[in-house]
Each structure stands twice: as C-alpha cells, then as structure tokens.
Amino acid sequence: MKHNRFIYILCSVAILQFSCKEFLKLDPPKTSLVNETVFLNDSQALSAVLGMYATMSASNSYASGGSSSITNFTALSADELIGYNALNLPYYENQLTPELSGVSNLYSGPYQSIYTANSILEGTNASNGLSTTVKAQVTGEAQFVRAFSYFYLVNLYGEVPLQLVTDYKVTTVASKSPTSIIYEQIINDLKSAENLLLEAYTSTGRTRPNKSAVQALLARTYLYIKDWENAEKYADLVIKKTDSYGLVNYDGIFLMNSKEAIWQLMPPPNNNTQEGVLFIPSSLTAPPPANSLSKNFALNAFEPNDKRKDFWVKSYVAGGVTYYYPYKYKVRSSSTVSEYSMIFRLTEQYLIRAEARINQPGKIGIGIADLNMVRNRTLPTTGNSNPIPPLSINLSKENALLAVEQERRVELFTEWGHRWFDLKRTDRANAVLGPLKSPNWQSADILYPIPRNEVTRNPNIGN
C-alpha cells in the first residue's frame, strides 16, 4: 500500500541500541514540507510510541538524566551542584549564551518529542487500521508527551513557538506564543489524555504514562499557574490511589517499579540510569569530578537527624578536598538492571497538595499535615531519642510556605529541575541565588536564551 511510504523506520545503534522490531521512530523530514504518517495496524502505532520514549531516554537527551539533561543543567543553575568542567561551568556561573550546545539540546530535544507526538497524533487520526483501544491509548500518550515537553520548554525558555502540526511550512516560521497560551495547551492536552488513558499500566512496570501520570502533571501544572484548587484536586486524586502508590523507604524509592513511582523511564538495554553515571564518581581518588553537590547544600540544607542526608548524600576526599555527591541512585554501572529513571513520584504530589492547601483560606493546617507526612518518613529507626520533629500546624502562611520550600529542597534535589523552577515560580530566585552567585547573577538569568541556531533558522523567535 502507498501508506508504507509515509512510515519512517530507522534502525540505528545510536538510538539506544534498540532493534528495528522494537520501535518505529518518526524523524522530522529534512526537505519535505509536510510529513504524512499513517499507521497500518496497532503494531506500527505502538512501535512509534516506544520509539518516542526511547529517544527521550537516549544518553544525550534532555530527559535522560545524564550530563546534557534538564536534571544536570538546572541543578547547576540553581544552588545544588557545582560545575568544574567546560560543559558545566556556564550553567553553574549563570553565564549562558545562545551558542552553547547544551542550551540548544535542551531546546531541540523537547521539540523532537513534540514533533514525534504530533506525527503520532496525525497518524492515528488518519488511520482506519487501528483498534479503538490502541487508538485511544496512543493518542493519549502522544498528547501527554507533547504537554510534558511544553511544560519544560515554557519553564526553561519562557515564550516559545506552539507547534501542533508537522507541516514544515507552519513550524519553520512560527512565532513565540505567550506563556499563558502554552499553559492552556498543556492543560487541554492533559485533560484529553486523562479521558483516554487507563489507570492500569500498559507496559511491564511503570514506563508508559497512565491516567495517574497525567493527573500528576496536571497537579504540577496547576501549581505553577497558581490555580490552587485544581492543584489540590489532582494531587489528591493520585494520593488516594493507595492500592497503586505509597511512600516507601529511602533505599527503595528509585528502584524499578517502586510503589512510589508514577512514571519512570527505562534506561537503554543492559544499563542502569544515566543519573547513576552522572552523579556517582567514576573514581574516588582523581579530583575534581565533572560536578559535585554544593558544600553549602550538603552541610547546611538538612535538619539534624534527617535520614535523607544519610541515604542520599555521600562524600569522598581526593587531593585533600572533600567532594559531596547525590546518592539517590545507587548503581553507576551494572549489567543487572535494578533502577529506572524517576520522572513523577508520589512524594511530589504530597508536596503539591501541601502548597496548594496552604495557599487557600482555612487550609494551612491540613497543608502542614501533608508536609509532616513527607517528614514522618524521615524518622530515624526506633530508639533514636532525637527524631526530626513534626512542623506545628499553627505556622503562619508565610512560614508554612517557607517550610514547603525547604521540604521541596531536601526531598527533590537533583531531580528534574525542581529547585530551579521552584525559585523562579515563587519569585525567590533573586533573594536566594543573588548572594550565592554574585557577581554573575542577574534577574534575567531565570530564563535560558533561545539557541542562536534556532533563531537563524526562524528569525520570528529572536530574543
């Protein structure tokens, strides 16, 4: 059939060493103005979805958790990591230029995911060969990934082009859209995906988004736009699914298929996570590493007896200098896969619900109770006479919000840019980072620059 000529199947070792049979990857056309994709059957559509996730978890991807990822660069831009090499220094010093390859990768990577999602949406819409169940599943996943990608683009770069089609004539001249329009589209995509996706995971483990993953991103999105009621509503929906999700011990959170996991990315075959490779030093004798935890964070962020520090922060001495590193992921390299890259986890939903409640009249106390749910998991073992204390439910709103900031800082550090985005969205970046990053810090640093090569290709998005 002629439809076959619209299917792009790439079998490349460069893409995570997956075989041709394992996924179908949709790449942007280099010369054609319109990319037409029509899926002949369920297998082709599902393969395209697997290819979308495989590209996201590739070692140099924005979503991989590796050295070129959102996790690394935003932790350097905030107050979590110190960068030592040429790749990391500009982010640590907040001296970003449009020519930096990392700035370009963080921009082009999400747009690659968006293009693939748009191709899948167009392909499913044009196909008469898909079952009703698969069509709904594939459509919902593509809408979710498009929303997920735009969430990070808008929080990294601010106004960006909103691309909902694959038509080259449209995408190459698109102007920036206001952030309010981007958020509106994110919510529209997620609301549609929520109706389409099932509660049950459609893969082994938790590596393909389900309804709860959609609701988790809705909760986060509403939090960021200060829609407190909806942020509470969607976080509450996830938290109440106790048969599927629960808070687990610190040594089990980041394991594959952890009960705390809402959505994880599977690493390349026979590998553990890129976060493990990034953060766990390859040598404990050769200084300096590519990056390390800020000494201020490692020594001062945690309260006494907070077990998160014991489980998640490690150190070593090299060349007479003490270096600290994140130890949430315990495996740097092993052919036995035990950890998956965590994208959404239940604790964040408690923190979202806490903040949303504290920002609503009459709900400060129950918001603080949510914070204490997170803190209670940090209680030392029985017999320790100095456990981390619960927060008073009588805190003022101002102090309760500072407590939220603190809990998010020590719970979510070096995970997906939470600290960087938190300081920005709460207007705390200047107060916190100004003294730490002086004299380099400027208020404009809260947004990454649009890459030069993108502006050259499309002058309509010039800064």
**pTM listed for this prediction:** 0.93
Calpha distance 119→192 (Å, rounded): 17
Calculate mean pLDDT across residues 274-281: 95
Strand partners, 315: 324
Is residue 395 within 8 A of residue 384, CB to CB? The reply is no
Question: The tokens 């959170």 sit on which residue?
Answer: 253
The predicted pLDDT at position 286 comes to 81
Q: Does 215 have pLDDT greater than 80?
A: yes
- Give the per-residue pLDDT at 269: 82
Q: Which two tokens stand for residue 241?
A: 């699914």
Q: What is the spatial distance between Cα 356 and Cα 221, in angstroms, rounded to a whole number?
A: 12
Query: Which whole number is the average pLDDT over 53-62?
Result: 89
**Of 31-35, 227-231, 287-291, 420-424, which gets the smallest average pLDDT?**
31-35
Mean pLDDT of the chain: 91
How does pLDDT run across 159-195, given as a tens digit for each residue?
Answer: 999 999 999 899 999 999 999 999 999 999 999 999 9
Whether 380 has a pLDDT exceeding 90, the answer reads no
220-254 confidence digits (pLDDT tens): 999 999 999 999 999 999 999 999 999 999 999 99
Length of the chain: 463
Q: Return the number of other C-beta atoms located less than 10 Å from residue 435's C-beta.
A: 9
How much is the pLDDT for 75? 98
Reported as a single tens digit per residue, the pLDDT across 76-124 is: 999 999 999 999 999 999 999 999 999 999 999 999 999 999 999 999 9
The residue ranking higher by pLDDT, 89 or 384, is 89
pLDDT tens digit string along 290-347?
Answer: 999 999 999 999 999 999 999 999 999 998 999 999 999 999 987 788 999 999 999 9
Of the two residues 157 and 283, the one the predictor is more confident about is 157
Residue closest to 406 by CA, chosen among 302, 276, 257? 302
Q: Which tokens go with 448?
A: 């990454």
Percent of the chain predicted with pLDDT > 90: 82
Answer yes or no: is pLDDT of 378 > 80.
no
Minimum mean pLDDT range among 34-38, 193-197, 296-300, 438-442: 34-38
Higher pLDDT, residue 112 or 57: 112
Mean pLDDT, range 205-219, rounded to an integer = 98
> Which class for 15: exposed (0-12), middle (13-18), buried (19 or more C-beta within 10 A)?
middle
Q: Which amino acid is at 272?
A: N
Confidence at residue 29, expressed as pLDDT on a 0 to 100 scale: 41
Residue 27: pLDDT band with limits 50, 70, 90: low
Instruction: Give the Cα separation of 51 and 10 in Å (integer).
Output: 10
Q: Which domains does the chain have, with CATH numbers?
A: 243-410 (1.25.40.390)
Range of 13-27, 217-231, 286-300, 379-393 with top mean pLDDT: 217-231
Q: What is the dihedral of CA 460, 152, 59, 294, to 10 degrees?
A: 120
pLDDT for 312 equals 98
- Least confident piece of the model among 14-23, 60-69, 305-314, 393-402: 14-23
Confidence of residue 1 (pLDDT cuts 50, 70, 90): very low
- The predicted pLDDT at position 21 comes to 41
Kindly give the interhelix angle for 42-56 and 132-157, rounded to the nearest 10 degrees. 20
The pLDDT of residue 14 is 31
- Three-class secondary structure assignment of the chain: CHHHHHCCCCCCCCCCCCCCCCCCCCCCCCCCCCCCCCCCCHHHHHHHHHHHHHHHCCCCCCCCCCCCCHHHHHHHHCCCEEECCCCCHHHHCCCCCCCCHHHHHHHHHHHHHHHHHHHHHHHHHHCCCCCHHHHHHHHHHHHHHHHHHHHHHHHHHCCEECCCCCCHHHHCCCCEECHHHHHHHHHHHHHHHHHHCCCCCCCCCCCCCCHHHHHHHHHHHHHHCCCHHHHHHHHHHHHCCCCCCCCCCCCCCCECCCCCEEEEECCCCCCCCHHHHHHCCCCCCCCCCCEEECHHHHHHCCCCCCHHHHHHEEEEEECCEEEEEECCCCCCCCCCCCECEEEEEHHHHHHHHHHHHHCCCCCHHHHHHHHHHHHHCCCCCCCCCCCCCCCCCCCCHHHHHHHHHHHHHHHCCCCCCHHHHHHHHCCCHHHHHHHHHCCCCCHHHHCCCCCHHHHHHCHHHCC
Residues 311, 251 contacting (CB under 8 angstroms)? yes
Q: The tokens 């030093």 sit on which residue?
A: 281
Span of 347-351, 356-360, 382-386, 452-456 with lowest mean pLDDT: 382-386
pLDDT band (50, 70, 90) for residue 68: very high
**pLDDT band at residue 261 under the 50/70/90 scheme:** very high
Q: Is the pLDDT of residue 386 over 80?
A: no
Tokens of 289: 């590493």
Question: Which is nearest to 50 in space by CA: 130, 111, 137?
Answer: 137
Q: Cα(7)–Cα(25) distance, rounded to whole angstroms? A: 9
pLDDT band at 271 (very low <50, low <70, confident <90, very high): confident
Strands 313-318, 176-177: pairing is unpaired
